[in-house]
Amino acid sequence: MLSDLLTPLAVNPLPWARAQMAFTLAFHIILVPLGVSWAAMALIANYRGIKHDDADALLLAQRWSKYMAVTFAVGAVTGTVLTFEFGLLWPKFMGRWGDAFGVPFALEGLFFFTEAIFVAIYIYGWRRLKPWPHFWTGIPIVIAGIGGSVSVIAANAWMNQPQGFTLNSAGEIIEVDPLAVIFNKAMPLEAAHMVVAAYIVGGFLVASVYAFGMLRGRNDRYHRIGFIIPFTVAAIAVPIQMGVGDQLARWVYQNEPEKFAAIELVPKTSDNVPETLLGRLNADVTKVEGGISIPGLASILSDPSTGTGTVVQGRDAFPEDEQPTVRQANTVHLAWDVMVGLGTFLFLLSAWYALSWLFRRDYPRSKWFLRIGSISGILAVITMEAGWVVTEVGRQPWIVRNYMKVEDAATGNTGVWITFLAVVGIYSVVGVTTILVLRGMSRRFREEAGDDETDVPYGPSARPEEVGAR
């Protein structure tokens, strides 16, 4: 039989399933902020355009909606892959927990539907709908974007804090309380953290493109607005995120102490726990090697009311097989440092911007500000990815905390390594192409407007080859 011939290709699916899920999520999560926040930013520009008769702002809104058409399509289909993967990679997880885990996704479907419908109306409606009705068709996209991400995060939060179900003696779900599943204990802060992150990442990503353009000498009003709107959105969201993140960390300290022990790299339960920047656990898990230690800070941050006297549970407080491995803990800690470090850096950048507005009614005209601004998008993406690593790796070895381990959830299909390689190949092509297509669009817009001297002003234009009377 064919299946017998394939036996030599059989490889333990677990690490590959993990890798594939991680890779496809890491890819999709970059498109999410654009889906959630770009429409809001386009609407701000759109509003300015109509209300104040601002032609530059209106042109921005139109072009952004065309870029959104591309990023939304790629986001929609990569999101669909995740839907398939829940079953393809984790059938035992879905079979046993789908009854509860699925509930937030049912809501998400509602939001995604709304988003897809109004994205289409908004993007395609520029020419023939009247300005204000057209503007209003964009509002449901903003609401659905927030609602959709809250729903998905509710499902993820449920994996951290599973509740709202009753099991029988065989461990099967016999009763589900849908509201308790959706509004699980971890949901409010996790969801807030992600929605705010979506505005930060989306804002910095879009702003960084225009910062780059201004560095290249395209210093017209169009580029300035294209920078100011998204950068302002991100700069407002960053301090909010500092507050939400701080709350969330304290919440994890109280409710998921084994994750917190990994985050803060605490080998032994004690008070007066230092905050260690970088560093890693040594092999026999007795102490932290390397890094910069700030005495007592982790205790103080965990509960300021008791200060350095706050006791933080260490790895010795939990069974070895019910917390992240040492390697995973080191990963969590590094990701945590990256998230907090870059987040703080983006906060300082936002503060610079805010002070400049406060005192000079203008964004900082320093070249260095634009240089950092032009990489702020990538930095924000790295920050978000690091945060996602903290929550996902920090939950290991569980897929449903305290109920099911990842290793018990995976598919038995031994060919997952093949699909992993295929996914990496396809996504790489799609990712690179997305960037090239967006760049090509931007170049074409500039050529059409005739506002670019760096591109070949003479020579054959790309237009005559154009096909189709679209």
Partner 1 sequence: MTLADAVAIVLFFGVTAYAIFGGADFGAGFWDLVAGGAERGERPRALIDHSIGPVWEANHVWLIFSLVVLWTAFAEAFASITLTLFVPLTLAAFGIVLRGSSFAFRKAVFRTRDQRNFGAAFALSSVLVPYCMGAVAGAIAAGRVPSGGKAGDPVTSWVNPTSIVGGVLAVTVCAYLSAVYLTWDAKRLDDPEMEAYFRRRSIGAGVAASVIEAVGIVVFYADARYLFDGLVSRALPLVILSGLCGIGSLVLLVRRANHGARLLSVGAVASVVVGWGVAQWPYLLPESLKVDQAAAPEGTLGAVLVVFALAAVIILPSLALLYVLDQKSLLPGEGVEAGPAPGD
State yes or no: residue 55 binds partner 1 (CB under 8 A): yes
CB 349 within 8 A of CB 343: no
Residues between 211 and 250 with contacts to partner 1, criterion CB under 8 A? 222
Cα torsion angle, 407, 412, 414, 415, sign: negative
User: For partner 1, what does the binding mask look like between residues 258 and 297, x meaning CB under 8 A?
Assistant: ----------------------------------------
Which residue reads 């885990």 in tokens? 101
* Smallest separation (angstroms) from partner 1 to the CB of 303: 36
Between CA 258 and CA 401 the distance in angstroms is 11
* Closer to partner 1 by Cβ: residue 88 or 277: 88
Residues between 169 and 198 with contacts to partner 1, criterion CB under 8 A? 173-178
* Smallest separation (angstroms) from partner 1 to the CB of 265: 37
Question: Of the listed pieces 56-64, 230-238, 284-292, 300-308, which binds partner 1 according to CB under 8 A?
Answer: 56-64
3 state SS of 256: coil
Q: How many residues bind partner 1 (CB under 8 A)?
A: 97
CB 16 within 8 A of CB 424: no
Continuous H helices in 363-415 = 367-393
Between CA 91 and CA 399 the distance in angstroms is 12
Residues between 433 and 462 with contacts to partner 1, criterion CB under 8 A? 433-434, 437-438, 440-441, 444, 448-449, 462
Residues between 377 and 436 with contacts to partner 1, criterion CB under 8 A? 411-413, 415, 419, 422-423, 426-427, 430, 433-434
* Closer to partner 1 by Cβ: residue 277 or 424: 424
* Smallest separation (angstroms) from partner 1 to the CB of 361: 24
* Smallest separation (angstroms) from partner 1 to the CB of 216: 20
CB 447 within 8 A of CB 455: yes
* Smallest separation (angstroms) from partner 1 to the CB of 314: 37
Which residue reads 């997880």 in tokens? 93
Q: Residue 338: CB partners within 8 Å, gap ≥ 6?
A: 382, 383, 386
Bridge partners for 288 per DSSP: 281
Between CA 434 and CA 457 the distance in angstroms is 25
* Smallest separation (angstroms) from partner 1 to the CB of 91: 4
Residues between 297 and 316 with contacts to partner 1, criterion CB under 8 A? none
* Closer to partner 1 by Cβ: residue 177 or 271: 177
Question: Of the listed pieces 1-9, 40-48, 237-245, 309-317, which binds partner 1 according to CB under 8 A?
Answer: 1-9
What phi, psi does 270 have (nearest 5°)? -165, 175
* Closer to partner 1 by Cβ: residue 422 or 456: 422
**What distance lies between CA 367 and its chain's CA centroid?**
29
* Closer to partner 1 by Cβ: residue 365 or 463: 463
Return the residue of 77, 355, 432, 456 that touches partner 1, per CB under 8 A. 77
DSSP 8-state secondary structure symbol assigned to residue 277: E
Return the residue of 34, 39, 100, 233 that touches partner 1, per CB under 8 A. 100
Between CA 194 and CA 160 the distance in angstroms is 15
Q: Residue 50: CB partners within 8 Å, gap ≥ 6?
A: 58, 131, 132, 135
Q: Residue 365: CB partners within 8 Å, gap ≥ 6?
A: none
User: For partner 1, what does the binding mask look like between residues 133 and 172, x meaning CB under 8 A?
Assistant: -------x------------------------x-------
* Closer to partner 1 by Cβ: residue 30 or 332: 30
Question: Of the listed pieces 110-118, 263-271, 304-312, 367-375, which binds partner 1 according to CB under 8 A?
Answer: 110-118
Return the residue of 26, 88, 139, 424 that touches partner 1, per CB under 8 A. 88
DSSP 8-state secondary structure symbol assigned to residue 399: E
* Smallest separation (angstroms) from partner 1 to the CB of 465: 5
| Residue 91 token pair | 């059938």
Between CA 385 and CA 379 the distance in angstroms is 10
Amino acid at 139: I
Return the residue of 99, 220, 271, 408 that touches partner 1, per CB under 8 A. 99
* Smallest separation (angstroms) from partner 1 to the CB of 366: 28
Return the residue of 47, 92, 183, 228 that touches partner 1, per CB under 8 A. 92
Between CA 99 and CA 115 the distance in angstroms is 25
Return the residue of 109, 239, 296, 397 that touches partner 1, per CB under 8 A. 109
CB 312 within 8 A of CB 266: yes
Between CA 142 and CA 416 the distance in angstroms is 37
